[in-house]
Structure 1
Amino acid sequence: MNPLPLSSLRAVPALALAAALVSAALGTVGTASAQTRGGTLSAIVQPEPPILISAMNSQAPTQYVAGKIYQGLLTYGPDLKPRPELAKSWTISPDGLTYTFELQSGVKWHDGKPFTADDAAFTIGMLLPEVHVRTRAVLLKYVASVRAVSPSTLEIKLKNPFPPFIMMFEVGTMPMMPKHLYEGTDYRKNPANQTPVGTGPFMFKEWKKGAYIKLVRNPDYWKKGLPYLDELVFNVIPDSASRAVAFERGDVQVLRGGDVDNVDVKRLRAIPGVDYTTKGWELFSPMAYLTLNQRKPPFDNVKVRQAVMHALNRKLIADNIFFGLGKPATGPFTSTTLFHEKNVPTFDFNLKKARELVKESGVDVGKYPVKILSTSYGANWDRLDEYIKQMLESIGLKVSIESSDAGSWSGRVSNWDFDMTVTFAYQYGDPALGVERFYRSSNIVKGSPFANVQGYQNAKADVFWLRGGSTLDPAERQRAYSEVQKLLTEEVANANLLEMEFPTLYRANVKNLVTTAIGLNESFDKVYIDKK
């Protein structure tokens, strides 16, 4: 069986229907007025997030909206160097074990209570280790103590040196949470989760499910004179064609990567008065991958997993499904991140080899029907699911596709209730932060879809991860990470598909939109609309 023809992979927007859907979805949400201070910036959140508390949900839509409500101690420039945010300065002891942060003065929570080092110590020492699975793995392993030395000074002591630790203080990884609202409560069931309270430039106002999320200016924001905008509106629009129409008509001013079908990007980019950038992803370096549940047949057999890799034409996926916005992955580390190893086992597109591997496995793959649990990220991902289904059926598997929304997908994958699923994840500038979490045996934990949910276990890999994350010697880190990349690639610990490239399209009068390595996940406190 041949790959899907290109014509079957392209989606032609149904513009007439889309226009009607846009009008219904946007309702009475206004567009931005053209002025330096004031006005509304309208964007899209896609898919609709299950919650706005990024401490408890790391999915991309949650991080996008919550980054305007909450803040971290630091943010990061395009060069990945730390910049002040809620911390105005910091020092690291020569032995790499003590981190001391001096906090900004005059910071208040949205309910008027002061933000202090007690909040930071509570967040890092108590709340995040319980509810933020990605961050928890590092905190429990490396942090010895967290304490407020004074209302404005935070001290963190590590058990062992951990060089990437300074990269962990952005808002998606360590969002500061209000101690006075969460201490002594069931964090996940706290009523405050419905009306988030942060320190950021925008405050939660309204969430009309299925329509929009509205944030308004924080009048007591600690950065004087900011933010410039009065309001942010994140519209929930039902399909990619409608989202493209909303942007064309000016009903929304910003499109984030994935908001529209990749086939529409070139056309929308050519609209007069539209700017385009792929910057703002330096910290994340997103990787798209197919996760195969290794707890049961047929994917508990490494030869079957290798057959899956040979059955997928990743160049076709990059060129014809994602329309050139990405390139085939060679292994678990993206080529833009630290310690990437080029010399890893390769899996060329070879259906004959795939069928031979299935035969060698001794597994009658047809006896074990499998489902692809779909994400709700849009048409590109739907077509990818269809392509994977077709190609795996061509080597003997029985495959169906099961739809889900963002919330149910997160719950199902977090609890290992899936056969296979395609998603993408951020690498966070260092493998110890963004990659290790998917493969360490100790991170086979329920509670997050971005952990070792596939159940991969290898004691050799665990040793390499420990060595790479605990030494201060970059050369030793490289040796450890080179070995682990070879091992994970050979065993198809995950079926890595694409190093993704996300475009941001925006109206040219929207200024200061992408300024850091976390791009649109930033606070937007300096974003303004130019009326000229």
Structure 2
Amino acid sequence: MKAWTILAAAATLTLFGTSTGLAARTDLVLGMQLEPPHLDPTAGAAAAIDEVLYANVFEGLTRIGPSGEVLPALADSWAISDDGRTYTFKLRSTVKFHDGTDFDAEDVKFSLDRARAADSTNAQKALFAAIDTVEVVDPVTVKVTLKQPQGSFLYNLGWGDAVVVAPESAPTNKEKPVGTGPFKFDNWAKGSAITIVRNPDYWGEPVALDRAEFRIVPDAASQVPALLSGDIQAIPNASIGDALPQMQSDPRFKVVLGSTEGETILSTNNKKPPFDKLEVRQAIAHAIDRKAIIDGASSGIGTPIGSHFSPANKAYVDLTGTYPHDLAKAKELLKQAGLENGFSATLKLPPVPYARDGGQIIASQLRDVGIDLQIIPVEWADWLKQVFTDKDYDLSIVSHTEPNDIDIYSRKDYYFNYDNPAFDKVIEELNLTSDEAKRTELYKQAQKILADDAVNGFLFELPKIGIWDAKLEGLWENSPIQANDLTKVKWLD
């Protein structure tokens, strides 16, 4: 910490911003904790993919705005049939992909059909399950007919997984992404940084930045010095530990404590013994002390949660009291499960600080009730394969940053291995409901079922700690979707 303070003092007069009379700068270096495994939002679950590419390089028919609202994007407007099953989209007519090819209705049909195909590798394939047919009416008109009404359909089309890609470039988007957005992909120095540059032929409002670099700075030991030295000018999702007060007191920076859609959970393999027993999962829930985890793994910032739902959502129910911290009750439940002497299990932890630090705390807490966890650190790519894809795990810790994603618990192949027909029925009804009051009630029912079943250890809502140069404006203060949208970002003179 002393070294960081010395750097701050030495840099006070020379860093961040331009001198009076000079034009505002047009480049930006942002820090990111995790490097994406590839650069195709339609073929991967990692949030880091969208954090670079969403709204910057790739666009969908709709987009999610900074307040979580649904906005037009490649679709200029749309009409919905009286029965709520048919959506007719009017497309923008002057759009080109970054390789110079024209965007039209055929690209929309290709993208939606590809996302919902039997062999689709889209991580959110369920978003498209309600689609029955996609019809090209003319080059600027697409008609999408649903199997049944879906109240969240326009919102779903705003996810990164629903961006429009072209058949010519889709096969190579993982390494050389080609979209329609205001920025074009420039370079990826693996293990270091990803660079995007302004698209001079963008159909919409031009961006102020000529160049943006997303640099990988994984932890406080690298993030704080990089900010203080001026190597990077912003970290939209910082993890700086006990250096937060120092950054808040430095007038050169703006520090914004915002919200995310990131439910941070102790992921549990519900079909793997002994976690297939409700009493075991309930015991773990009682053994967890959320406040200690938030204090130790999230700089004391974060809202405790008792189910998989964001406290910022109007349908949120505080269910943290379902299983209060109670070691005696936890031991009693383990005894009921025939595990009076406890048991051993593994805890696979991805590299993000909240997981690595939180894992140590949770391991200590569970040890107090006789559960001995072997901590296994894994890199992000290994976590995606071993835990998310292969379901080869007992417990893990991760933050699910997808927006409003409680429906993942109804997916039969999802890595939690959770199966409850009552929950599935609620989600099915939710998908058929457009009335907001009824949807709110259904969301509350879904939250209660997950809490009662102790499907996972529900820990806290991941906070968004944004730190950037005080002369920057336009970065999102909250994260309703996993994105670093640079379309409105500029330097002040």
Aligned residue number for residue 356 of structure 1: 332
Note if contact 1:55-1:131 (Cα within 8 Å) is conserved in structure 2: no
2:323 matches 1:347: yes
* Alignment of structure 1 residues 235-384 onto 2, 5 Å: 235-257=215-237, 259-279=238-258, 281=259, 285-342=261-318, 346-363=322-339, 366-367=342-343, 369-378=344-353, 380-384=354-358
* Alignment of structure 1 residues 121-270 onto 2, 5 Å: 121-127=109-115, 129=117, 130-131=119-120, 133-140=122-129, 142-182=130-170, 190-223=171-204, 226-257=206-237, 259-270=238-249
Note if contact 1:135-1:173 (Cα within 8 Å) is conserved in structure 2: yes
Aligned residue number for residue 22 of structure 1: none
Distance 2:320 2:251 in 1: 44
Secondary structure, counterpart of 2:143 in structure 1: strand
Distance 1:458 1:492 in 2: 12
* Alignment of structure 1 residues 35-114 onto 2, 5 Å: 39-67=26-54, 68-114=56-102
Secondary structure, counterpart of 2:352 in structure 1: coil
2:425 matches 1:444: no
Secondary structure, counterpart of 1:163 in structure 2: coil
2:403 matches 1:428: yes
Distance 1:252 1:153 in 2: 43
Note if contact 1:31-1:42 (Cα within 8 Å) is conserved in structure 2: no
Write the deviation string for residues 256-310 of structure 1: whole angstroms up to 9, x where unpaired.
22x322422232122112123345x5xx522111111122222111111111111
Give the aligned length: 481
Distance 2:159 2:2 in 1: 38
Aligned residue number for residue 501 of structure 1: 463
Write the deviation string for residues 183-231 of structure 1: whole angstroms up to 9, x where unpaired.
xxxxxxx34421111111222221112221111222222225x122121
Cα separation, partners in 2 of 1:343 and 1:410, compared to 1, 3 Å? closer
Aligned residue number for residue 24 of structure 1: none
Distance 2:162 2:95 in 1: 17
Cα separation, partners in 2 of 1:171 and 1:301, compared to 1, 3 Å? closer
Note if contact 1:100-1:155 (Cα within 8 Å) is conserved in structure 2: yes
Distance 1:512 1:346 in 2: 40
Aligned residue number for residue 117 of structure 1: 105
Q: CA deviation at 1:171?
A: 4.7
Letter in 2 for 1:406: W
Distance 2:120 2:247 in 1: 39
Q: CA deviation at 1:239?
A: 3.3
Cα separation, partners in 2 of 1:58 and 1:322, compared to 1, 3 Å? same
Write the deviation string for residues 136-188 of structure 1: whole angstroms up to 9, x where unpaired.
11312x11111221111121111111111111122523111112233xxxxxx
Q: CA deviation at 1:135?
A: 3.0
Secondary structure, counterpart of 2:306 in structure 1: coil
Q: CA deviation at 1:461?
A: 1.4
Q: 1:389 aligns with which of 344, 352, 363?
A: 363
Q: CA deviation at 1:424?
A: 0.8
Note if contact 1:87-1:102 (Cα within 8 Å) is conserved in structure 2: yes
Q: CA deviation at 1:503?
A: 1.8
Note if contact 2:402-2:481 (Cα within 8 Å) is conserved in structure 1: no
Aligned residue number for residue 384 of structure 2: 410
Note if contact 1:509-1:529 (Cα within 8 Å) is conserved in structure 2: yes
2:459 matches 1:480: no
Q: CA deviation at 1:363?
A: 3.1
Distance 1:475 1:239 in 2: 42
Cα separation, partners in 2 of 1:318 and 1:168, compared to 1, 3 Å? same
Distance 2:319 2:359 in 1: 29
2:428 matches 1:466: yes
Write the deviation string for residues 14-73 of structure 1: whole angstroms up to 9, x where unpaired.
847x98xxxxxxxxxx99878767632001122111111111123221111112211122
Distance 1:246 1:252 in 2: 6
Cα separation, partners in 2 of 1:163 and 1:100, compared to 1, 3 Å? same
Q: CA deviation at 1:475?
A: 4.0
Cα separation, partners in 2 of 1:70 and 1:37, compared to 1, 3 Å? farther
Distance 2:322 2:47 in 1: 30
Q: Percent identity?
A: 28
Note if contact 1:310-1:347 (Cα within 8 Å) is conserved in structure 2: yes
Aligned residue number for residue 12 of structure 2: none
Letter in 2 for 1:205: D
Distance 1:218 1:33 in 2: 24
Secondary structure, counterpart of 2:162 in structure 1: coil
Please, which runs of 5 or more residues in structure 1 have no aligned partner? 1-12, 20-29, 183-189, 446-451
Secondary structure, counterpart of 1:47 in structure 2: coil
Cα separation, partners in 2 of 1:318 and 1:516, compared to 1, 3 Å? closer
Distance 1:487 1:171 in 2: 26
Note if contact 1:71-1:171 (Cα within 8 Å) is conserved in structure 2: no
Distance 1:89 1:505 in 2: 36
Distance 1:428 1:134 in 2: 14
Distance 1:139 1:36 in 2: 46
Distance 1:219 1:467 in 2: 46
Secondary structure, counterpart of 2:363 in structure 1: helix
Q: Which moved more, 1:121-130 or 1:309-318?
A: 121-130
RMSD value, Cα: 2.6
Distance 1:517 1:260 in 2: 15
Secondary structure, counterpart of 1:127 in structure 2: helix
Note if contact 2:24-2:491 (Cα within 8 Å) is conserved in structure 1: yes
Normalising by structure 2, report the TM-score.
Answer: 0.90
Distance 1:61 1:170 in 2: 17
Distance 2:257 2:447 in 1: 27
Write the deviation string for residues 103-132 of structure 1: whole angstroms up to 9, x where unpaired.
122111111001111111111122355545
Cα separation, partners in 2 of 1:512 and 1:475, compared to 1, 3 Å? closer
Secondary structure, counterpart of 2:371 in structure 1: coil
Distance 1:209 1:14 in 2: 32
Q: CA deviation at 1:311?
A: 0.7
Letter in 1 for 2:458: N
Secondary structure, counterpart of 1:55 in structure 2: helix
Aligned residue number for residue 5 of structure 1: none
Distance 1:121 1:315 in 2: 48
Letter in 1 for 2:435: D
